Each structure stands twice: as structure tokens, then as C-alpha cells.
Structure 1
Amino acid sequence: MEFLESVISLIITLGILVTVHEYGHFWVARRCGVKVLRFSVGFGKPIFSWHDKLGTEYVVAAIPLGGYVRMLDEREGHVPSELKVQAFSSKPVSQRIAIAFAGPLANFIFAVLAYWLMFVLGFSAIQPKVGAVIDGSPAYEAQVPVGSIITQIDDEPVHGWRDLVMGLVNYIGDTDTVSLTAQVDGVSKQFDVELDKWVAGEKEPDLLRSFGLEPFKPRIEPVLDTIIEGGAADQSGMLSGDIVRVADGVEIDDWYQFVEIVQNSAGQQLIVEVERSQSPGLVALKVVPEGVESQGRLVGKIGVGVEPYKYPEELIVQVSYSPLDSVGAAASQTWSDIAMTFGAVKKMVVGLVSLDNLSGPITIARVANQSISTGLEEFLRFLALLSVSLGVLNLLPIPMLDGGHILFYLVEAVRRKPLSEKSQLMALKLGMSFVFMLMAVAFYNDIMRL
């Protein structure tokens, strides 16, 4: 069932973003007088199609991993003399660049709209209150105090832990200073955190922990709720409603205490004693946590969840803006995402960010499913960030992508004549090889994360 939900979520997510991207090409092509032959969402065999009064065929195809807009073009076949004026190849360089750039631009505009809607509707966030500072970490050296609430990173507002983590992404691999503003006992203070080639080249680094901060966690009663069928907890005989009292000889007073013991015991047998309704005394159970690789280390998991809990009301803030203020907030967030994505690509090229962090459709499907399940705010945020990523990646100067076409047209503008077909074909083959190699790495990473 989860697999089916993930597939549906992938189709919905990519369907929206691909349609937006291709519509950008389509809309500008039409405004430039180019005849559009086909607008396809997806590749492969058409599931259904229709034509408009101008003769454009609209297609929804079977493989939802992309799309394309096919235009009348003399390079792809014979064009009747009376239609040559409508051919893409007959248009000036400036218009061809505009058509190529329109797809990524549509993705950026869509991200602004998604963020605008998110800010107008509003959302809840848990204030980033520091629960612990890890000894010897950058935050520890900067003397960031336990109990402080982070409010800004480099003058950018921080509403919750997500905002702080996204701000830290910009510093991966850097030797630099991060400026944090925090509320300490009601007083705003600034802390300059020094980084030295921070998490450079690490596989799926835990940015918050590497920075040295652990979120404040409210005390949670260790009452079991969800038991995953077939998991280690289920096989040991644990039941929903059990209260964990002892694990590995240690008295358990808090859920996170139990989680830490389980995570540190991958592949090792634990004796867990639980308090069970209508059972005299404690019930002793033997469980062996399954070892799962997470953020570069092996952690134990037993397939169990805790009863729902709530954070203190004073830590929960409601974030919303007026429709007018949301425009500025959405544009600023989109610009930050664009800069972050370009920066990550650059660092990946020079080796500061590991290729292990590349994600493909399997990861996108899982995250899409989680975001849809969580709520509209999460889905809008995910759509916006993925839309920006799609726009940025398509602007890379790689033949086969929009950026590669733009590069060809700029060279043509400088030379006052296009590159030879042989040169373009060779560059296209190299570009396709590079893109397919990245796709293979992304698929491999997806599979290794399963």
C-alpha cells in the first residue's frame, strides 16, 4: 500500500512540475510565433491525447519522468515554405534563448506562488530551542548556550529547525563564520560560529549534529503505540500500550532514553521489560534491533512508535503573512533556494559535497508521499524546493538540458553563425552521457537507501 501511495505521489508531484516547466517553453514559443506540434507530459506511449484549434497535440504519456514541447524545426525535417516563418530554427537568437529559458523561469515563478500560498495560509513551527550542545563542536566553541532559542542565521529569520538546517546547507564544505542570533533568557545575543571545511565530502551528513546542536525534546512517556508487523518489536512480542520500564538493565523514564539504547544496539540482543495491562509484574522480552545505515552510521531499529505527544505551547509559533507581505517573503525564500541549489551543485563538482547525496525518483516518491501525508504546508514547501531544483538543474550548461541549448545560442550570437551540426551532435552525445551517468548514480543511491 505504501509503495502504491509513493508511486501516486511521484506522479502527482512530477506531473505538476513537468507541466509547469513545459508550459513555460510552450507559452513563450507561442508568443514568439513558433508553431508548437506537441506538448507532452511524460515519455513513451500516449495514454490519451487531444488537439487544439491551432493543431497542437496535447499528450499524457505512460512514463511520468519528464516531458517535452516539440516545435516546428527545419533541423528535424522538411518544413513547407509557407510555414518556415513559424519554425523555431528561423527565429532570431534572442527569441530562441527566451524560449529555452522560459522553462526554468516557469519553475521559479511556480516556487514563488507555492511559497506565497504557504505563507498566506500560515503554518505552525516549533521554535528551535537548544536542548544540548555537543562538546568540541563548532557551536560549543562559540559558547551557544543550552536553552537558547535560535531566531536568525545570517540575518535570515528562523521559525523552526528546518529553517536553521536549510541555512546551514549553504556552508557545507566551507571555511567560514556563521552568524547566529538567539534569545537567551529573553535577551537577543549574537554568536559567531567558526567552521573549517565543514562536513566536506561526508555522505548524508547530519548537519545539525555536526554543527553541535541537539533540539530540546519534551519528556515523553515510553508508551508503545504503533507496532510494525514483522518488525523486531512485533517478533519479540511487544504490544501496543506496553510501557517500557527497563532496557538493557537500565531503568527507562523517557522515550528518547529508550530510543538511544535501541539505536546503539544494532544486531545485539536486548532484554526489554514492559509494564502490560492486566499482567502482574513486568514482562521480559528479548529483541534484536535491526541494523540500518543512517547518516553514515549503523543504527538499531525495532519497528515501533510512541504514543502521540505535544510540545509545550510556548514553543509553538504560528507563521503567516498578509497577501502583500507574502509576495516578498515568497520571493526571498525562492531566491535563497536558487542560491543554495547552485551552491550545492558547484560544491558537488569540486568534491565538497558527496555524490552520495544525489537523489532519484525513488527518494522523490518517498518524500512526496510523506509531504502529502503530513499536510498542505509540507507539500507546498516540497513542491517549491523541487521546482527550484528542476529549474536550476535545467539551466546547467550541459548539452541536452535547457542551459546547454542557451550556451549553443550564445556561441552562435558571438560567432554570428551556429555551430556545425557535427559539433552540436558530439556535444549532445557527451551531454546525454553525463546526464545518464548522474541518473545512474541517483538510482543507485536510491536503492542503497531502501
Structure 2
Amino acid sequence: MHGWRRTSPTNYCDDWPLNNGVHSCTSILEVQSETKLLCSTNRGMELELLQTITSLILTIGILVTIHEYGHFWVARKCGVKVLRFSIGFGAPIWKRTGADGTEYVLASIPLGGYVKMFGENNASVAPEERHQSFFYKTLGQRVAIVAAGPLVNLAFAAIAYAALFAYGVTYPKPIVGVVESGSLADSIGIQSGMDLIEIDGRPVRTWEDINLALAARVGSLSEIDMVVAKGNEVSRLSTSLNDWRFQFDEISPIRAFGISPWVPPMEPILSQIQLGSAASKAGLQPGDLIKTLNNQPVTLWSEVVTVLRVSPGKQLTLLVQRGPNLLEIPVTLDRKIVNGETIGYLGANVANSVWPADKQVTVQMNPLASIVAGGEKMLQMSWLTLTSIGKLFTGVVSLDNLSGPITIAKVASASASSGIESFINFLAFISVSLGVLNLLPIPMLDGGHLAFYAAEWARGRPLSERLQAFAMKIGLVVVGCLMVIAIFNDVSRL
């Protein structure tokens, strides 16, 4: 962006894919757990905090650099003199002036960036310098410079998706595990053990595909069509959605639909403990094996979850094996609201199980096919982002789903922990969000300036400076309010 505009990614909803075990670049590990949680030891907490901060800085740093470089590169190609290229806001912690006369800055607040150009919005430039002034460039050149940032974000996402398709990623097959009684999935006739093959005429190969297809239908009144298979029998199912809605920040689309993915049986061996959770307060540790729950023997994690869900706020007694010792540990469960239902919450993750080869699918394409698929995926994510923003403003999707830097940091850290493929996919997802959001016709954003230029083209002359300044103030209020809501939502989720 230019000096009078800033890049600060705020994502409408970026955590449901990961928090519900179906992250966009879902690995075997991700489907096995409900959330990626923090270690409970002091050293573990310090390392997790460091990783979270590092992941946030890395994520925003990469995407903001890409965005601002788009503005910078096109401005230089159009002959505009760039005065400053800054990654971050506030006091510089590093800077130097290049041979091109541009001051390159790394600032102390890594939550955005900007490109400052000569003569951005000031006509009082000496005649001999006008050829380097942004203000005196043609309308087409100004449009190209402003649009370059978000378009480069979208291009980066397409390249990232294409790289993942070319490299090949192994996913769990979309096999239904449990169907919630009375849910839409139950009403349509979906059963445990079924393979999901197609939704609304579009093939689905992974849980991510299914999540995206269902997310696009939130608030829909029409029917949803599915093709499923069980053994050699293929069936086509359909049901009316009847204005289907749910809270994205509480539950994933597949779970709101009433489906839990199939996962291999897991022993109740704790691997991670969430900071400040009921498990942490009770003194549970990674490696603890739960032997009994309220004096009832348990051998599978699913048995533990069944009891936890119906015990919000209750005290349970766990008998755990820690090394050679058996310890009886009382735990008072936390309460968590999921899709309007209050459930018990322990705040622990379990160790990973071995995933059978026949329950996995590897998605890999040749280079040409991966480029096409990468572009299609970027367009699909762009449309989903755009329609979801529209649903936010029309009330179909609650403003509670807006997420800010804290949620981005948490999901970035979790995706980085899951592997390079997951992190690249997350970068692509946020890059799409950043690109689409910046193209919205809101003053203070790139799209707002493009709207000014559209009016200039239609009128044959620019809008008055007074009108533009007034619109910028409105845009500042709108963006500021959205940021406040996003940060408030972030804090409320802690």
C-alpha cells in the first residue's frame, strides 16, 4: 500500500479448519486431534509462546512483503519514485538507502507495512519532477499500482496451492466416522463408514474439500446434493438446508452438518496440555495414560470424550499411569459452548495413532495440472472469502467469527507445527483473505482507492479532495471498528 494506507491482515474466520481437525492442508496428525494445544511445562510454555510469536511475525512478514512489493514493483515500472519501502510500523530497527534512492526499513511493530511514493496526493510538484510523481501518472498507471498489491497476494496463493499439488500431500480419506442423531447428515441418510464422493456436482477428495463446499452453503435455502459410497454401492442423497447456520468460531462445517471424520482408535495417552486448562490446573502431564474415569475402565480416547462432553463444570476422578506410578487425580472440567451446546472441556490432546494406508489418499498432479488446480483453488477460496464477507454484513454469519492477529498467531503456530505443507497452505489461505479484503471498495483500503479511480474515469475528473478526505474518515472508522471487533473476539477466545 501507499504511505497513506496500511496492510494489516484481519481474517473473517481462519481457525475452524484447524481447530476441528480438518485443516486446509490436513495431515494425518491434524484429523486425529480437535485442537493443537500448548505444552504445560514452563519450558514448553516458553517454547510455545516463542513459536507463536515467531509464526505470527513470519506469516505477516511474508504476506505483507509480498503485498507491498507488488505496489513497489509496478510503481517503479511506471516510473514513480519510491521514497520508502517499510515492513512494519513504528520506529525503525533497521534501515538503509539503496542505490535506487529508496529507503528500505524494517520497523518495530510487525503488523503491516507500506510503500511511500513521491507525490502521492500532492499536485504541488516541480514541473521537472512530475514524471516521477504518482499524482501525475495516468489513471491506468495509478490503477495498476494500487491493484498490484492484492493481485500479487492472490497470485502468491495460486502459486502456493500449485506447489502443494505438484509436491503431493497425503490426506485422510473423507470416510464418515460418527453421524449425530437428528442432524442434517442424519436426515439426508449419511451413515458411518460411507465415503463422501461429491457435493453439489463437485468432486470432493479430502475433508478440506467438504468443509469448503459446506461453508459455501451457509444460509442457503436450496437443496444440497451429495454422492456417497459404501462398499460397492453408490448413492445420491439430497436435503433442503432451510437457511442452515452455525457459529464458525465454535465448530467446523462438517461437524455442524453432523459428521465426525473416521479416525483410527486412539489410546487415552495425553500428548499436550493446554495452558490454563482444566488438565493443566489438575496437574496432568504429557505421557499420562488414563486408566479409569470415575472408577470406570477406559481403553480408548473416544470413551473419555463421551464422558467429558456431558460433564461441563463437573469434577471427575482420573486414574492415570505416569511412568511406573498410578496416580489418582481429580479434575474439574471447564465449560465450552459448541454450536449452542455447553460441553465439558479438559484441554488435552492425545498421542497420535498409526493411520492405515487404505484410509489415506495422496493428491499429486503433474506440473501443468497443478498450475491449473492452483489457480482454481485460489479462485474458489477468493469466492468463499468474498461471499463470507457478504454474509457477515447481511447477518447470515455472525461478527463473532471475525478473527485478528491473536487468532492468526495461534493458527500460524499450529500449522507450522504440523509441517511445511500445512504452513504453506495456511499462508495461501491468509494471502487470499488479504488480497480479497484489500480489494473491497472501502476507503483506506486498496479497493477504496480503486473506487475513487472508477469515479474519476466515469466523471472525467477526480473527486474533490474534500470528498475523498471525508470518505477516508468513514473508511478509517469502518476498518477501525472491524479491527476492534476482531481483537475483542481474539481475546474472548483465550
Give the 3 Å change call, closer, same or farther, for CA 268–155 of structure 1 in structure 2. same
Mapped to 1, the partners of 2:51 and 2:401 lie a distance apart of: 24
Give the 3 Å change call, closer, same or farther, for CA 37–252 of structure 1 in structure 2. same
Aligned counterpart in structure 1 of residue 169 of structure 2, from 123, 127, 148? 123
Mapped to 1, the partners of 2:89 and 2:465 lie a distance apart of: 25
Aligned residues: 448
Normalising by structure 1, what TM-score? Answer: 0.93
Mapped to 1, the partners of 2:285 and 2:117 lie a distance apart of: 61
Aligned counterpart in structure 1 of residue 481 of structure 2, from 433, 437, 449? 437
Conserved? CA contact 2:169–2:421, under 8 Å: yes
Q: What does residue 256 of structure 2 align with?
A: 210
Normalising by structure 2, what TM-score? Answer: 0.85
Mapped to 2, the partners of 1:398 and 1:74 lie a distance apart of: 19
Give the 3 Å change call, closer, same or farther, for CA 35–364 of structure 1 in structure 2. same
* Mapped pair 1:184 → 2:230: yes
* Mapped pair 1:406 → 2:450: yes
Conserved? CA contact 2:168–2:363, under 8 Å: yes
For structure 2, the residue ranges without an aligned partner over 5 or more in a row are 1-45
Mapped to 1, the partners of 2:365 and 2:115 lie a distance apart of: 37
Q: What does residue 334 of structure 2 align with?
A: 290
Mapped to 2, the partners of 1:312 and 1:201 lie a distance apart of: 33
Mapped to 2, the partners of 1:250 and 1:174 lie a distance apart of: 44
- Tell me whether 311-320 or 240-249 shows the greater mean CA deviation: 240-249
* Mapped pair 1:75 → 2:121: yes
CA-to-aligned-CA distance 1:48-100 (integer Å, 9 cap, x gap): 12223321221111111111111111634742221112211111212211111
What is the deviation of 1:228? 6.2
- Tell me whether 297-306 or 78-87 shows the greater mean CA deviation: 297-306
Q: What does residue 223 of structure 1 align with?
A: 269
Mapped to 2, the partners of 1:247 and 1:174 lie a distance apart of: 42
Q: What does residue 371 of structure 2 align with?
A: 327
Give the 3 Å change call, closer, same or farther, for CA 17–420 of structure 1 in structure 2. same
What is the deviation of 1:303? 4.2
Matches within 5 A, 1:78-157: 78-157=124-203
Matches within 5 A, 1:21-420: 21-73=67-119, 75-76=121-122, 78-199=124-245, 204-226=250-272, 232-233=278-279, 236=282, 242-274=288-320, 284-294=328-338, 296-420=340-464
Q: Which amino acid aligns with 1:440?
A: V
Mapped to 1, the partners of 2:284 and 2:249 lie a distance apart of: 34
Percent identity for Structure 1 against Structure 2: 42
Give the 3 Å change call, closer, same or farther, for CA 200–91 of structure 1 in structure 2. same
For structure 1, the residue ranges without an aligned partner over 5 or more in a row are none
Higher relative contact order (CA 8 A, sep 6+): 2
Secondary structure in 2 matching 1:75? coil
Mapped to 2, the partners of 1:200 and 1:229 lie a distance apart of: 27
Secondary structure in 2 matching 1:65? strand
Mapped to 1, the partners of 2:73 and 2:284 lie a distance apart of: 58
CA-to-aligned-CA distance 1:205-232 (integer Å, 9 cap, x gap): 4422221212223222233444668754
Secondary structure in 2 matching 1:88? coil
Conserved? CA contact 1:337–1:388, under 8 Å: yes
Mapped to 2, the partners of 1:366 and 1:277 lie a distance apart of: 31
Mapped to 1, the partners of 2:446 and 2:120 lie a distance apart of: 19
Conserved? CA contact 2:161–2:425, under 8 Å: yes
Secondary structure in 2 matching 1:89? coil
Conserved? CA contact 2:247–2:339, under 8 Å: no
Q: Which amino acid aligns with 1:24?
A: G
CA RMSD of aligned residues (A): 2.3
Q: What does residue 428 of structure 1 align with?
A: 472
Secondary structure in 1 matching 2:305? helix
Mapped to 1, the partners of 2:369 and 2:417 lie a distance apart of: 28
Mapped to 1, the partners of 2:175 and 2:248 lie a distance apart of: 26
Secondary structure in 2 matching 1:318? strand
CA-to-aligned-CA distance 1:134-173 (integer Å, 9 cap, x gap): 2222222221232111123234332322221122111111
- Tell me whether 292-301 or 379-388 shows the greater mean CA deviation: 292-301
